[in-house]
Amino acid sequence: MELAVVLVNTLVITQARGRPVEPPESGAERLTALTAAVTEPAGRPREAGDADALAAVAEGLHPVFTAAPGAVEELNAMLVRHGAVPCLYGEPPMLSFHARDAGTVDAWAASMGTALAMVIGVGQGVRLRSCEAAGCDLVFFDVTRNASRRFCGLSCQNRAKATAYRARRRA
């Protein structure tokens, strides 16, 4: 889940916290951005081509966070495309959602896609959200008890409050 959020926010989003941001455009830039953003040391992409492929995956995952029409169908297609399959490996056996010999891109896409599908499949898709503040498209996973989080963070929450306050004063 966390990985999907990081990937979308790093590779797709074009405005964050009220400012335009430029997502990395070349494979090399994407690789650098991913290496900086993803803290998991194991199985990180090492090739620009993989970073490009993951950017396409992130592009496909983004609609799930904005509840865009067709997002679920696209997610299903992605799970098939990247060979998502439950698989036990290691000793003691651990459950993963990609084939044992899957490459980085397929492994990441299958893991992220499965995590999102499980959230949606238990009726919690509303927790996959996009910041509601103006000028911010950052996505997040809402873990509040009543799924009431509206902003990516405090800076956006404060900015939105100030905007609403000014609008009330003008009225």
For residue 134, what are its two tokens?
Answer: 């103006």
Taking the complex as a whole, how short is the minimal distance between the CB of residue 152 and Zn ion, in angstroms? Answer: 3
Q: Choose the stretch contacting Zn ion; rule: CB under 5 A; options: 19-27, 106-114, 127-135, 163-171.
A: 127-135
Q: Choose the stretch contacting Zn ion; rule: CB under 5 A; options: 55-63, 77-85, 124-132, 157-165.
A: 124-132
What value, to the nearest 5°, has the Cα angle with vertex 64 and ends 136 and 14?
A: 30
Taking the complex as a whole, how short is the minimal distance between the CB of residue 18 and Zn ion, in angstroms? Answer: 8
Residues in region 152-171 near Zn ion by CB under 5 A: 152, 156
Can you tell me which of 131, 139, 140, 160 binds Zn ion, judged by CB under 5 A? Answer: 131
Does residue 8 belong to the site contacting Zn ion (CB under 5 A)?
no
> Judged by CB, which is closer to Zn ion: 105, or 136?
136
> Judged by CB, which is closer to Zn ion: 78, or 152?
152
Taking the complex as a whole, how short is the minimal distance between the CB of residue 4 and Zn ion, in angstroms? Answer: 17
Taking the complex as a whole, how short is the minimal distance between the CB of residue 146 and Zn ion, in angstroms? Answer: 20
Per DSSP, the residues of the chain read -HHHHHHHHHHT-SEETTEE-----SHHHHHHHHHHH----TT---SHHHHHHHHHHHHHHHHHHTT-TTHHHHHHHHHHHTTEEEEEETTTTEEEEE-TT--HHHHHHHHHHHHHHHHHHTT-GGGEEE--STT---EEE--STTS---SSSHHHHHHHHHHHHHHHHH-
Beta carbons of 75 and 149 less than 8 angstroms apart: no
Distance in angstroms (rounded) separating the CA atoms of residues 56 and 28: 15
Q: Choose the stretch contacting Zn ion; rule: CB under 5 A; options: 59-67, 81-89, 115-123, 147-155.
A: 147-155
Can you tell me which of 38, 136, 139, 160 binds Zn ion, judged by CB under 5 A? Answer: 136
Which residues form the interface with Zn ion (CB under 5 A)?
A: 131, 133, 136, 138, 152, 156
